[in-house]
Structure 1
Amino acid sequence: MKEGPDIARIGTLIGDPARANMLTALMGGQALTATELAQAAGVTLQTASSHLSKLEDGGLIAQRKQGRHRYFTLADAAAGTLLENIMGFAASRGHLRHRPGPKDPALRKARVCYDHLAGDYGVRMLDSFVRRGALRTDGENLAMTEAGRTELNRIGIDIASLASNRRPLCKSCLDWSERRSHLAGTLGKALLSHFLEKGWARRSGESRAVLFTPEGERKFLALFPAD
């Protein structure tokens, strides 16, 4: 018997089409019911319950109870990062599922990746931070600079409280649609929350898309100008 991590088990769990659709639905960062996930997967509620049990046993999702209702989320940020990396790898190899429609441009422009901003705007934000010296990059590793701390505190992001979190402050996450990295970590989460709380953008009720208002888009583009 071979020793070491059992990647075959994780691959089998993610590789089932119905379970893959469920996990993709949970990439929006919201807690969903078994009924909602059954609809996302295109299976019956009984079949969905079986899939969810396997995903929970495999450590990919977690269950929350509120009264008589049960909700499911991704287990943690590591599960979200794993899925986004797999999406990026699949896209880079040409393994794409394409459903033409109005959602496609919105998802590619700005969307939620577990708890941070992805898509064109997510990549643009990271590039802008690196270009003006707020973040220092060494390959896939990111580090906050003093200039970055000053800038983010001015924006209204409390770096001291974020740095005390057990999760990384800032890390890169491969973007499946842009094929480049966007900003993840507690900083990425805080910035997305900041945009939503300020009313610059809102979550779409139909997909993972993040929809900016005209004024919010103007402020975002001014804060993160293109090269």
Structure 2
Amino acid sequence: MKYQIIPVTPFQQNCSVIWCDTTLKAAVIDPGGDIERVLTEVNKLGLTVEKILLTHGHIDHVGGAQKLASSLNVPIVGPHIADKFWLDSLPKQSQNFGFPAVEVFAPTQYLTEGDEVNVGEQLLSVIHCPGHTPGHIVFFSKLSGLAWVGDVLFRSSIGRTDFPQSNHQDLVNSITQKLWPLGNHVSFIPGHGPMSTFAEEREHNPFVADQLLG
């Protein structure tokens, strides 16, 4: 699995263009905004986008999804249906966070634990990781040892749990019971900031390091 990270929106959210090197079929994960930049990168790479993938319903991750889907005539896939209330609140989110106005939309398909998503000949596993939001999902490429974790986990930090229907213990459980078993070798692309590995976070993350949680 190949990828290009494109920071978008004033929140510098890590939108990712991912693609199968054999077919040049691609997906865009979490297009929160700055869609022209995303389209420019897609064209530069010579890719054919098949779908848009969403990890969760916060505006900095989904704010450009409908516009991009319409531009490319592709489906929006994800997140888990438990984040429907976040997608339904997009007009209010745009006002609260000073984003351009975004209308309510529904994805073509919601995802759940155990689903799989194809990108060309590559396969992504879907892992439901509630905590930051109740419907947050993670996309995992076993073949590449790569995970797109949205706002579940960051380098040296974890997602916020002060939003409606957030839950700190659920978030810790998602990280330790669902992400860590994927393997210490796994590299992850968070929703914001630099990449890291599960090994690094298990050793040094001040919220979920192994020595802190026993």
Q: TM-score, normalising length from structure 2?
A: 0.29
Answer 1 or 2: higher relative contact order, Cα 8 Å, separation at least 6.
1
Q: Looking at CA atoms only, which structure, 1 or 2, has the larger radius of gyration?
A: 1
Q: Hey, which of these two has a bigger chunk of helix by percent? A: 1
Q: Hey, which of these two has a bigger chunk of strand by percent? A: 2
